[in-house]
Amino acid sequence: MCLHRHVLLLTTLAATGTLVWAEPASHEVEVNGVTMSYAEEGTGEPILFVHGAVSDARAWEPIRAEISDQHRFIAPTLRYFGTEDWPDEGENFSVATHADDVTAFIEALDLGPVHLVGWSYGANVATAVALDHPDLVQSLVLYEPSLGTLVKEGEAGEAAREAAGQMFGPVTTAVQEGDAEKATRALIEGVFQMEPGSYESLPQEMQDLQLANARTMPLLWSAPSWDITCEMLGQLNKPTLLVHGGDSNAFWRHVAQSMSECLPQAEVGTLPGVNHNGPVSDPVGLAAMIEAFVAGN
């Protein structure tokens, strides 16, 4: 499978973490012929959070309280994710579809221009929204986008490709075997740099969330590629904060740096002591970075 199709997970908790689930009331809105549920809490300037693979709006629960004390926290569940019935057989699963839905969601709730936060696959979706509808976006905060087309040649790029192969190789094998749950476990272990076979050490609530979304894995792995280029990103003149974990592998760090070199208004930040699990391992630290960036933009 091509590297740029390896769009990633946006959920779960580090094996050593704890999490108390206290979800806000769920709301619904009709957009593009589908019903999108979303969590909302707080008042003030809106910050919209986009989840990623084998996940849903609950992925942002660890950070909700940190954001909603000063801002309007909003987190939708994207089409095909969550536990509701699908509107079709999944043939429309793509970055483009999800970006169109988020765009319609922003318009339906009259949020724009909005501060848009995305994590992994959700960061890809957020970037697509900003490229297609810059008038709806005030700023972007992207935690470890999964944009393999930005991997360069040379030593750094080779290290990134090697890291990607280690993360995604077992996932591809499981998808080809038709085992979506096995693929989900392999994906989580890979992107969070866990020991193989250690998935069951995660909190049960997180396993339940991920495995409830495991049915999307075949859609994710067969989705049309999103061939983003540096030239395309050069047209995105929005303040952008690219964040990677201090302990993240070479793929995430390389993509963040490469992306920052393409964007006219970008800066790179590091969340110490975490990897791709940063938003749930250190939600307080990430929230502080988001709020500081939003305050300045």
**Amino acid at residue number 159:** A
Q: What pLDDT sits at residue 98?
A: 98
For residue 189, give the CATH number of its domain.
3.40.50.1820
**Amino acid at residue number 289:** M
| Structure confidence at residue 11 as a pLDDT band (50, 70, 90) | very low
- What is the residue range of 56's domain? 3-295
Q: What pLDDT sits at residue 12?
A: 33
Q: Let me know if 218 is exposed, middle or buried by CB neighbors in 10 A (0-12, 13-18, 19+).
A: middle
Return d(Cα 254, Cα 247) in angstroms, integer: 13
Mean pLDDT on 58-72 = 94
Q: What pLDDT sits at residue 25?
A: 57
20 has a pLDDT exceeding 50 = no
pTM for the full predicted model: 0.92
Q: What pLDDT sits at residue 26?
A: 81
Mean pLDDT on 140-162 = 96
Q: Taking Cα atoms as reference points, which of 44, 43, 39, 45 lies closest to residue 21?
A: 39
Residues 168, 1: contact at Cβ < 8 Å? Answer: yes
Report pLDDT digits (tens) over 179-232. 999 999 999 999 999 999 999 998 888 889 899 999 999 999 999 999 899 999
Q: What pLDDT sits at residue 17?
A: 40
Mean pLDDT on 94-119 = 97
* Averaged pLDDT score across all residues of the chain: 91
Q: What pLDDT sits at residue 206?
A: 84
Q: How many domains does the chain have?
A: 1
